Amino acid sequence: MPSDLTADLVAEPRDAARSGPLRGTDRPLADLFDVALMDLDGVVNRGGAAVPHAPESIAAAGRCGLRTVYVTNNALRPPAEVADRLTGFGVPARAADVVTSAQAAAHVLAGRLPAGARVLLLGGRGLRQALTEEGLTPVDSAEDAPVAVVQGFDPDLTYARLAEATYAIRAGAWWVASNADRTVPTERGIAPGNGAVAALLRAATDQEPLVTGKPEAAMHRESMRRSGARNPVIVGDRLDTDIEAGYRSSTPTLLVFTGVTTPSELLAAPPAHRPTYLAADLRGLLHPAPQVRARPEVGPYAAGCGGWIAHVDGGELSWAADRGGHGHGHGEDAGEGAGTGEGADADAGDGLDALRAACVAVWSAADAGGAVHTIAADRPEGCADLVAPAGTP
């Protein structure tokens, strides 16, 4: 595909988000930002049910002044349908509060194709509506001579529709994928996502799609354009989409453990996948973020958080109780004022302090070229199931 069609659409890695990984603050996160650019699947809902604590946490953050805009890589439903589903879960939402990867894909196509151009649709009603709103013409057959193929998540895809997309791409149509998420969380477990379908088409066509969803620049620009955010935080459950989107755009991020990412995956995260803040669920928006401090007196790869010190020595990660009182302070925002948000109890713990300390210790070792291959058997709360990033002996 000519470079003028893809210029500035694929976000390249850049320096870490301006706040860095696992930053602390004395104020609730809801007090620090104007808009939460919030993922849906695995963060607000799982399939047809709300994630526990999500509706009330979003409402409480709103009362603190943090507006929520729902940014989803799932292109299946139009924004009004997404908002209706959310309100059915008890989550406050309007159609204008929803930004989808279908909108991002359609906006990119419309910016590079003539008005009324025919685009073969391999997706659901959300993509169809987005194409129409951008002045493009959705078609369903390669015989309609489409100039592009747009592909988004649709659980009702058939072999016949996949074949039509394959014919069109092989005939020279520009292939745009709304997102590359390999999986999607449902109430029954983890199911194939749009990236899995893209892998099938890639094998059938020997072509690569332009991806417009998170973590790519097109999706972040669409989110900022539609939300009007000036000081946003990205909230999500995926390291390779939500957190990497923040890294690429220098936007602070909050990772929650209600979706696909596990503590072991976070422990093994490369720099682009390390969040600014960490919480068990969306209640983390209502609390200060614990500070993680380097503890050089313990060792070169040691960090403390709360009542725990994590230490990497000789390739082994271990913990010790912090009896020196160093781990209870907060971070770089100290002195900006006490927390005023609902539920903003500075002493409220979420059981993740030992994990926070472990991540910083392991990341510092990894960045210096050291591998962690063993984790001590005596482990604190929240770390019982951790697996060593380099594999156990």
* Catalytic residue ranges: 39, 41
Max alpha carbon distance in the chain (Å)? 73
Of 286, 278, 267, the residue nearest 352 (C-alpha): 278
| Sheet bearing 210-211, strands edge to edge | 137-139, 118-122, 148-151, 174-177, 210-211
C-alpha span between 106 and 126 (Å, rounded) = 10
The token pair at 37 is 């650019």
Cα–Cα distance list, 320 to 66, 303, 308, 348, 378 (Å): 37, 11, 6, 21, 9
> Would you mind telling me the total number of residues written for the chain in this entry?
393
- The runs of H, that is alpha helices, within 263-378 are 263-267, 353-367
Q: In what order do the strands lie in the sheet with 316-321?
A: 293-294, 302-305, 308-313, 316-321, 374-375
CB-count burial class (<10 Å; 0-12, 13-18, 19+) for 5: middle
Whose tokens are 């799932």? That residue is 74
| CA 146 – CA 137 distance, rounded (Å) | 9
Q: What is the CA radius of gyration of the chain?
A: 22
Would you give the DSSP letter of residue 41? Answer: B
